[in-house]
Amino acid sequence: MIKKQPNMNAGAAVLFVIFSLLFFILIFRFVSIQVTGEVHGQALAARAQQKYSNEKTIEAVRGTIFDRKGEVVAEDTTSYTMVAILDKSVTTNKKKPKHVNDPAKTAAVLAKYIDMSESDIYKRLTKEKAWQVEFGKAGRDISHQTKREIEEEKLPGITFLRDSKRFYPNGMFSSHLVGFVEKEETDDKKTVTKGKLGIEKTWNDELTGENGSISFKSDLWGFLLPDDKEKVTPAKDGHDIYLTIDKKIQTFVEDAVDRVDKEYKPKKILVVVADPKSGDILAMAQRPSFHPTTREGLDKSWHNEIVETPIEPGSTMKIFTLAAAIQEKKWNPNERYKSGSYKVTENSVAIGDHNNRQGWGAISYLEGIQRSSNVAVAKLVNEKIGTDKFREYLTEFGFDQPTGIDLPNEAVGKIQYKWPVEKVTVAYGQGSTFTPIQLIQAATAVANDGKMMKPRVIDKIVDPNTGEVIKKDEPKSVGQPISAATAKEVREVLGTVITGEHGTGKSYAIDGYEVAGKTGTANLTENGKYLGGASDYLFSFLGMAPKDDPKLIVYVAVQQPEIDHYFKGSIPTSMIFKPVMQSSLQYLNIKPASMDKAYSSPVPDVTGMEPGEAKKLLDSKGFETVVIGDGNQVQEQLPKGDIVALEGEKILLKASGVMTYPDLTEWSLRDVMKLTQITGIKLNKAGSGYVTKQSMKPGLPINEGENLIVELETPLQQFENSLKKEEDSEETEEVGG
């Protein structure tokens, strides 16, 4: 035992040294952490902050786009993404499963609600080694109504993630002007919404808000620590944009364009409606177009043709040649010239009139304009105005620069003005090119007593967080190429294009309103050569009304409709111009200049009267009266008192008391819009023509702000459907017999 003592002392000494060393290292490590605050190069305070601090994003709402009267054109709405949880481990109670425990049943039920086949859903629900799955496009952008219906099925494992989507309540509605949005993933894996076309693209920064956040410190289990306060940085919603577009006028345009598109199947249709006093674009449409929510049709046309695509304007250009001649006092309507063909120089190709260069003999210059004679305007430019002076007018009318409209990718046409013949052909719209929006801007000078107005589509931009108007676009004059007297004389001459014996614009006449305008038939080219087919033209009309004091300018262009002779090109263009101009003027309460007394009269003002007496009075005047409300006093009427209306027109009376829906069957869209205006309900429509179905049954109470959906059919569609029903009925009888 005595011999073992030295060994034990040695072992104890070694252990003492080891433990002393470990203690020293521990003390050193503790002191160094206290001094530096880091472990392995990482700040402990930051790691602690990350572990016990929570921050959640408060998403900003993208700004709403409104029309000029505050009707929603595009807005963010709540949507949902459907998710299926497949992992069995989430279920702790077999009686209440939290995962998809019956894929076959779940697939069969979900197939009723989303656009995906039952077999494809089943494949996703039986995917191996998947914790959860989504359903692609079919499972995104699910509405609150559909979400609720799926939840009522009580399918285990089916849940929803809240999201937002861009909603365009009017469907195909000036789609290229408004644009659309897409969601994109950034480098830091965040999803952002970006505008891809039109207003959504040009004003993306203004429409996009700033996300907010909420942060707080919690313990290990996520509970708020004592004495800690939430720090909230509120989101700033995007700015709202108010357009100059008028929803009702845009609806008139879309309906007219749909009819022509269906009946004549043209390659292209372009329509613009503008207020010449302000330059406001009240409507803008084109075909092909697309649905901004589904993107259906987008592959056919990515461009806003009215702003981005220069065209040969054809004889609509004669409006501005005539204006230059009158302004330069080189216009004598009674002076005669030899029509048919005309050579600018001895060696140039002869310019010919549109009737195979035959002309109409020696006629006056006034008749030449009425007949749309190329020779007339060629002689005006070459022999009277002078080509150098005429070139100055092209600049004065804004044809060599963009208008500056608030839409992306505006193009500028090309003025061909090198050779003598080119300096003359531009006078009747051939060779040189301009955009339709340039034609609209130039036409405002004629309609607005010489003052040319810049086209605008933005009225104002408003901060919804404060109500402050961030930007207000006021109407802007961009020149005065002609005098008021010249503008008036131009309109008088253009009026004879519609009313004159030899006028080419007779089909554009509107009962009760005097129209001034000019037809256009522009040849189309392919591989540098003009096409020669019967329909290979861009048929157009640029008109304004009322002639003496125009309130509206309407430009219509229809390319290559299915017709068998170019003389028929005015049919599809007038099918758009006439209903759009007439409906818009009536909607704006512009009184007709002249009406047949036997078929029209001023509407009596019956506000304040007893509804029965009011109806009796209106019916005696030949109007069709509809009373909305069961009270004993008329509070409002449409059309208003003293407006001249045609015999048989519907007059809507809003009475006190409870309002109920009338039977809208066979009502025109215009009459339905009167109902929305007088009651404050919102309208969604499908089709065109006359009402065949309504979502709110007759007799149901009307609640302001609710949505009314109507389905419309043209008389031809109704006739065809009735024939089909008869055929089906006959087949049924034969089978039964």
Of 315, 339, 574, 688, the catalytic one is 315
Neighbouring C-alpha atoms within 13 Å toward the C-beta of 238: 23
Q: What are phi and psi of 114, to 5 degrees?
A: -120, 160
Radius of gyration (C-alpha) of the chain in whole angstroms: 36
Q: Is 315 a catalytic residue?
A: yes
Q: Which amino acid is at 210?
A: E
Neighbouring C-alpha atoms within 13 Å toward the C-beta of 501: 1
Return the residue matching tokens 């330069």. 328
Pair type for strands 516-523 and 537-545: antiparallel
Orientation of helix 436-447 relative to helix 484-499, angle to 10°? 110
Cβ-contact 213, 58 below 8 angstroms = yes
| ω into 464 cis (within 30 of 0) | no
First to last CA, the chain: 126
Burial of 440 (0-12, 13-18, 19+ CB in 10 A): buried
Distance of alpha carbon 359 from alpha carbon 301, whole angstroms:
39
3-state secondary structure of 253: helix
Smallest CA-to-CA distance from 624 within 614, 632, 633, 615 is with: 615
| ω into 420 cis (within 30 of 0) | no
Distance of alpha carbon 63 from alpha carbon 80, whole angstroms:
20
Distance of alpha carbon 359 from alpha carbon 346, whole angstroms:
20
Q: How many CB atoms neighbour CB 504 within 10 A?
A: 23
Q: Which two tokens stand for residue 234?
A: 């509120």
Cβ-contact 628, 660 below 8 angstroms = yes
- Measured CA distances, 473 to 176, 204, 233, 470 (Å): 21, 18, 32, 10
Active-site residue list: 315
